[in-house]
Structure 1
């Protein structure tokens, strides 16, 4: 008897990978098929299980990989093949995301489904810009609407003039391209001095907030070159933001470039210390087809979470004392039954060297990236260890690397944390593409090194 699968409509939030729910992550990790579009962060897709079928169904202005009916048919077909399907949607699935249409199609086809709520862009824009959507004595009503409608739409058209008469906070999504028309309609009811906030890329790298008035919003959006995605917040609550921001203590912003596929305990430590930390995944791991000679060693060493994940995904079995470079790497291994024998006090290559100085020499299998230098291997050999190095992956830069360098150059960060020689050199090369260098940027931005090996790499780039 054939057992049909199930479709999950999953809200993954406004674009910041940290604003996804635990349930959404669990569904992504268990799904056989994942349908996603261009707004889904790669860090979220990295949670897919090995072998999952990732299908791009992206929609861009004038260029759709699939139309809506094709997406619905694909979901239904995969579910009837017995697959668990995760249909990922930015924000919340049932708020201007066509989730309602998909629920109707699934129910008519007799397919089991479930909706996983997500943080909407409205909530994200308000929270990240410190604009209260409701405030006692000022606004007890919130109207969420859309600024761009499908051509030929006949029913349920947005009437901003009626909405403006309701006297509350108005949140308008996808309205930047129609801003002049929105302005005209609202000005027919509201005062030209009505406070307005434009929130660009809410909660994401490069977020900008512009507070202005209804009379000036179009000119200001052009002057400051605002681009999509933008949420428009209109109403007296916007005026409160100025006092909130003025009274809020300015916190230093720290940029931490990292490879994707890693969890960030460092971010939590930095934020607990009172700083704002943005982790940007500037490189993606490309798995290598590594082979193992022998299944036993005295010590089995993992120098990164990525190496540990790739080892686990291969279902390999090894005998020996497991050593992880840090707690996050140890957690990856322990989830598959490999308990760490030891973790160095300092979660760096030098920390591993200090640890091995206290152990009895023996055979070592060392899982590492292709970019890692040979310092650890050379050290172990000099201490009498026999080392077999296994390169599990190489790191390939992505588009976020240049974007992070651009924001560094524009002075949007007070400090940069270099966590490895590869990432230090990558940021320097991207800055050079922009006509600068890490050395020049370090005159204005504090560069913090994570470990002596990275410090030496920075020194070779002129950063001291």
Structure 2
């Protein structure tokens, strides 16, 4: 019988996002497990001319990476800000920006359902990474896009992951799924956690399986689901 105080004893949880989730990794260790950080994607700020932010009523961020890159600019803006996800909003607010809109579920799909109903025909700028999908730009309202950072797949780390078995692997984006599959990952002898239904769909479309998906799309909530299933 497992120790209820250490429900992850004997478990290895592998985090694959571009930012090391220190809080979640510490929690894994506290619960008796082994936390491994193996990023499958890398980001680098793109050097490009800044847009005229004053031309937009709203700036839209759907990832922590885009928020962090934007905050490095220290750009004064009068635009309202929309953010998808607690961590995205947290980065912006910690840097002095006020977030005026967040969707009820932290996904671009839910964002495009709720955002137009709130703001009408406002002109928007979507600040994004190079591999971001065009979901936001598909809204029936004026949306321009600005690529603030480049995303690349870390195939070397993905190859390391394909050799790791008997672990729980947490995927937070379709890009991480792409890296794993490109490296030959076959989903065998691992449990899979997905953050968000878009990532879940990417896994299923690549012949994978999803054992854990949190109702709220955050890393800590995904970890809670892993604990429940241990």
Classify the TM-score, shorter chain.
Answer: 0.7 to 0.9
The whole-number CA distance in structure 1 between the counterparts of 2:51 and 2:23 is 30
Per the alignment, residue 410 of structure 1 pairs with: 164
Give the C-alpha shift of residue 407 in structure 1.
4.2
Identify the residue that residue 375 of structure 1 maps to in structure 2.
135
CA distance in 1, matches of 2:98, 2:54: 17
Secondary structure at the aligned position of 1:390 is classed as strand
**Aligned counterpart, 2:41:** 283
Matches within 5 A, 1:178-197: none
Match of 1:332 in 2: 91
- Residues 84, 106 of structure 2: 8 Å contact kept: yes
**Could you state the TM-score of these two structures normalised by the residue count of structure 1?**
0.39
Query: Are 1:295 and 1:317, in contact at CA under 8 Å, matched by a contact in 2?
Result: no
Larger Rg, first or second structure (1 or 2): 1
Partner residue, 1:429: 182
How far 1:451 moved relative to its partner? 1.6
User: Any residues of structure 2 matched to 1:279-428 within 5 Å, and which?
Assistant: 279-290=37-48, 291-356=50-115, 358-361=117-120, 362-378=122-138, 380-381=139-140, 385-398=141-154, 401-403=155-157, 405-413=159-167, 415-428=168-181
Give yes or no for contact 2:103–2:115 (8 Å, CA) kept in 1. no
| Cα shift at 1:387 | 0.3
TM-score by length of 2: 0.74
- Equivalent residue, structure 2, for 1:256: 15
CA distance in 2, matches of 1:377, 1:269: 37
Unaligned stretches of 5+ in structure 1?
1-247
Between Structure 1 and Structure 2, how many residues are aligned? 203
Q: Is the 8 A contact 1:265 1:328 kept in 2?
A: no
CA RMSD of aligned residues (A): 3.0
Secondary structure of 2:160's partner?
helix
Mapped contact 1:323–1:342 kept (Cα < 8 A):
yes
Q: How far off is 1:257 after superposition?
A: 0.5
Query: Higher relative CO (CA 8 A, sep ≥ 6), structure 1 or 2?
Result: 2
d(CA) in 1 for partners of 2:79 and 2:14?
37
Partner in structure 2 of residue 67 of structure 1: none
